């Protein structure tokens, strides 16, 4: 089972530009979580902080009882191995075949023989549905295939935490739907903690167990999907509805300057659609039972609408 990530009071700036502050959330072990946010709200920066590529100025990131912001280099290196990262553009080496790209972490970080590497690469390419494309160069395959190759590479060291930076970027809605299904299937098969950052509403509505949103340098919220998907916060309703009328403007910088000038924004939300199930033949996600236990303890704190959706999903009448 994957491990939990606990973030407490995290803040990140670049010079005088505060990207976000006071970010506290717990990404539950083995569950699927999505962090949403308009462009430029610092979603990628957040992922980079989690894997130690950027250093936050304040706060803590606790993984397996160790604070990643304050640990030794040796501890960071050890914990880093728990993470597999799918970068936004796939980050494949253009001069290497898909096979060599996927094999790269195994050759760099393990002493496995080429026969063992071949078996693992075959296993992961099969898992992401890329079998047959191993000999091609990244430039010879589609954007969707590059994403899947990047995902296979993120999986070869059997990470307990998988971070995906906008896995949908550059994909059409159909490929995005396939990728969403792939992430749910992956969770069913490997039971890893998966955190996806995106501004894709369809991914946010169908994939995660937990959903959060960054906006105007703060975390608007993070918790069981039903909370945000039924939230009447104007910023959430606007974002999930994908419309122009609301507090979110053309750019993050401009929103920060203007603030909430108007308060009577519409709060109509799209209907809450069911979460994707693993494909037929795959195991039931182990996260389901764990999440149910966790959400049961949160029920008294949920809004009426969120509680209604949780209970009706469990088949409990209101
Ligand atoms: N290394 C860096 N140095 C300085 N500023 C940076 C750096 N990395 C990111 N930023 C700034 O941080 C802000 C947030 O960037 P980030 O890429 O995390 O946003 P995002 O929410 O992922 O956006 P998008 O959805 O468009 O990818 C931007 O203003 C960006 O210019």
pLDDT at 233: 80
**Average pLDDT value for residue range 184-204:** 93
| Distance, CA of 264 to CA of 234 (rounded, Å) | 9
Q: Per mean pLDDT, which range of 59-68, 111-120, 190-199, 248-257 is the poorest?
A: 248-257
pLDDT at 255: 58
Tell which atom from ligand 1 comes closest to the C-alpha of 48: 18
- Percent of the chain at pLDDT above 90? 57
Tell which atom from ligand 1 comes closest to the C-alpha of 165: 22
| Distance, CA of 62 to CA of 48 (rounded, Å) | 15
> Please, which residues bridge with residue 204 across strands?
none
Tell which atom from ligand 1 comes closest to the C-alpha of 15: 4
Asked if residue 122 lies in contact with residue 99, where contact means CB atoms within 8 angstroms, the answer is no
Asked if residue 175 lies in contact with residue 183, where contact means CB atoms within 8 angstroms, the answer is no
pLDDT at 102: 95
pTM of the model: 0.90
Sheet-wide strand order for 161-165: 83-86, 161-165, 193-198, 32-36, 210-215, 218-224
| Among 88, 22, 17, residue whose Cα is nearest residue 222 | 22
Mutation pick for ligand 1 pocket among 45, 49, 165, 200 (CB with most ligand atoms within 8 Å):
45
| Distance, CA of 70 to CA of 57 (rounded, Å) | 11
pLDDT band at 267 (very low <50, low <70, confident <90, very high): low
Mutation pick for ligand 1 pocket among 14, 20, 50, 169 (CB with most ligand atoms within 8 Å):
14
Mean pLDDT of the residues in the chain: 88
Angle at alpha carbon of residue 59, lines to 58 and 63, rounded to 5°? 140
* Residue 266 in tokens: 């519409």
For the stretch 158-179, pLDDT in tens is: 999 999 999 888 778 888 888 8
Any residues with Cβ below 6 Å from ligand 1, and which?
14, 19, 37, 39-45, 199
- Percent of the chain at pLDDT above 70? 92
**Average pLDDT value for residue range 126-142:** 89
pLDDT at 258: 55
Is the model's pLDDT at 218 over the cut of 80?
yes
| Distance, CA of 165 to CA of 202 (rounded, Å) | 15
Start-to-end CA distance of the chain, whole Å, equals 33
Q: Is the ipTM of this complex over 0.90?
A: yes
pLDDT band at 137 (very low <50, low <70, confident <90, very high): very high
Which alpha helices (H) appear in the chain, and where do they start and end?
43-50, 73-80, 98-109, 114-127, 143-155, 173-190, 201-206, 225-229, 234-241, 252-258, 287-298, 304-313
What SS3 class is residue 302? coil
pLDDT at 184: 95
Query: How does 45-76 read in b/e, with b if 16+ C-beta sit within 10 Å?
Result: bbbbbbbbeeebeebbbebeebebbebeeeee
pLDDT at 238: 80
Mutation pick for ligand 1 pocket among 19, 55, 87, 168 (CB with most ligand atoms within 8 Å):
19
Residue positions counted in the chain: 318
Q: Which residue has the tokens 């760099």?
A: 108
User: Atom 9 (ligand 1): residue with closest C-alpha?
Assistant: 45
């Amino acid at each position: 089972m994957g491990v939990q990530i606990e973030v407490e009071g995290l803040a990140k700036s670049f010079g005088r530009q505060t990207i976000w502050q006071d970010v506290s959330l717990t990404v539950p072990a083995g569950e699927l979580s999505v962090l949403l946010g308009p462009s430029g709200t610092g979603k990628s920066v957040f992922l980079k902080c989690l894997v130690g590529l950027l250093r936050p100025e304040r706060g803590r990131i606790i993984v397996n009882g160790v604070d990643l912001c304050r640990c030794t280099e040796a501890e960071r290196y050890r914990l880093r191995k728990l993470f597999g990262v799918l970068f936004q553009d796939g980050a494949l080496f253009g001069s290497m075949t898909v096979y060599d790209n996927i094999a790269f972490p195994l050759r760099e970080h393990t002493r496995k023989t080429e026969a063992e590497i071949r078996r693992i690469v075959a296993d992961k390419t099969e898992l992401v549905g890329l079998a047959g494309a191993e000999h091609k160069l990244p430039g010879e395959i589609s954007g969707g295939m590059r994403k899947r190759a990047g995902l296979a590479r993120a999986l070869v060291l059997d990470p307990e935490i998988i971070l995906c930076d906008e896995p949908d970027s550059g994909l059409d809605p159909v490929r995005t739907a396939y990728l969403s299904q792939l992430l749910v299937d992956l969770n069913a098969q490997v039971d890893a903690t998966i955190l996806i950052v995106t501004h894709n509403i369809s991914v946010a509505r169908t994939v995660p167990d937990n959903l959060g949103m960054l906006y105007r340098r703060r975390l608007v919220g993070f918790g069981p999907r039903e909370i945000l998907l039924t939230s009447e916060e104007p910023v959430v309703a606007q974002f999930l509805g994908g419309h122009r009328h609301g507090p979110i403007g053309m750019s993050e910088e401009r929103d920060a300057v203007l603030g909430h000038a108007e308060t009577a924004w519409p709060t109509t939300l799209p209907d809450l659609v069911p979460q994707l199930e693993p494909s037929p033949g795959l195991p039931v996600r182990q996260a389901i039972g764990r999440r149910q236990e966790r959400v049961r303890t949160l029920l008294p704190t949920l809004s009426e609408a969120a509680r209604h959706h949780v209970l009706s999903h469990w088949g409990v009448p209101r």
